[in-house]
Chain A
């Protein structure tokens, strides 16, 4: 029962990833792509959490934390670049 629910949750996260990826590919404007990239990283953090659950290893949570930090910085940098072109 619990395992089936966790598997279903992982499937939901996978479908969410595919939907956001569709917006990332389709565009149409650069800001759309950055929004989709932000969404992709947030869904990926949940994916890393599922990896930690599947392998039963808590060290993967550190990976998720560093990934959240780096993706946040990437989104901020690209948004500032679009605003003023540095």
Chain B
């Protein structure tokens, strides 16, 4: 039973760090700031959460603290990415040429 929990935990940990790796690749390869924010925040949030669940399988006595870190990350990561995207838009950083829709510009008239 303990061996099975260890294998499940290690698999989840591996999947989580794989998502972190994909987030890093996205941060390097994406064409502009707004796409990089998507890759760098969504993929790394999922990766960290999967890693937290995996470590909770490996060490069940740490579950409460890991849950606390996970809830905190779920609150703060979307907030920081939203603030960053708004800051980039207000500073006036250019979008990639393939970008068609900009709802913030439609709503407020601020050009980016």
Contacts and interface: CB of A to CB of B under 8 A. Distances in A.
B111 interface: no
Contacts of A9: 10, 13-14, 16-17, 51
A29 B94 CA distance: 10
* Prevailing SS type, chain B contact patch: helix
Q: How big is the B interface, by class?
A: 35 or more
B19 to A, nearest CB: 9
B81 A38 contact: yes
A61 B28 contact: no
Contact of A35 (B6, B36, B45, B62): B36
Interface in A46-72: 46, 49, 52-53, 58, 61-62, 64-65, 68-69, 72
Given A9-B16, A58-B59, A72-B79, 20 more contacts: A5-B14, A9-B13, A13-B21, A16-B17, A29-B88, A32-B33, A35-B40, A38-B40, A38-B80, A39-B27, A53-B55, A58-B62, A61-B65, A65-B69, A69-B72, A69-B76, A72-B80, A75-B83, A75-B84, A79-B87
Interface of B: 3, 6-7, 9-11, 13-14, 16-18, 20-21, 23-25, 27-28, 33, 36-37, 40-41, 44-45, 47-48, 51-52, 55, 58-59, 61-62, 65-66, 68-69, 72-73, 76-77, 79-81, 83-84, 86-88, 90-91, 93
